[in-house]
Amino acid sequence: MIAVGDVAPDFEGITHENRRFRLSEARGKRPVVIFFYPGDFTPVCTTEACGFRAMREELSGLSFDLIGVSTDSLETHRRFAESYHLEFPLIEDDGQKIAALFGATNLVCCALKRAKRVTVVIDAEGRIAEIVRAELSARVHVDAARMALQRLSPVQNHA
């Protein structure tokens, strides 16, 4: 199980835009927010993704990557991103390999082949700065990620 202060496990995935994302490529450059969610187009997940979209716009003066991860297909991710104007990568986690690295699985999620709702904020050096686990509250995830990014930023953007 990962903990705050640990070096984040590296992973690679393909985004809904058919681009390769590798976590280690952000190391030494900028923070990364990874949010694991059960499924595209579900009520809480849609609220969460839209909340992260708004957070990204609000913190546009800060440099960070925002990545959504679920077991849904790249095609479903494409439709979800298009429907809700999500301008950040969504990665298909077939087999829950990425979710397992970050503790975003449990027996029920494995049986349903879904990720558990977990948000991880990783600092620019690749260490875990924040872990959020609140299964039914999208707002808790977005607010905690926002606060963590503001703490990590040398120049605060409160716009």
Interval 128-153 mean pLDDT: 92
Residue 45 bears catalytic tag: yes
Q: What is the DSSP secondary-structure string of 62-127?
A: S--EEEEEESS-HHHHHHHHHHHT--S-EEE-GGGHHHHHTT---HHHHHHT----EEEEE-TTSB
Per-residue DSSP letter, 25: G
Residue-range domain boundaries for the chain: 38-152
For residue 159, is pLDDT > 80? no
Q: What's the mean per-residue pLDDT of the chain?
A: 90
Confidence of residue 116 (pLDDT cuts 50, 70, 90): confident
- 51's CB contacts (< 8 A; 6+ apart) are 138, 139, 141, 142
Name the CATH topology of 38-152: Glutaredoxin (3.40.30)
- Select which of 45, 50, 109, 110 is catalytic: 45
pLDDT of res. 112: 53
Per-residue DSSP letter, 7: B
pTM of the predicted protein model: 0.91
pLDDT of res. 21: 95
pLDDT tens for 52-109 read 999 999 999 999 999 999 999 999 999 999 999 999 999 999 888 999 999 887 655 5
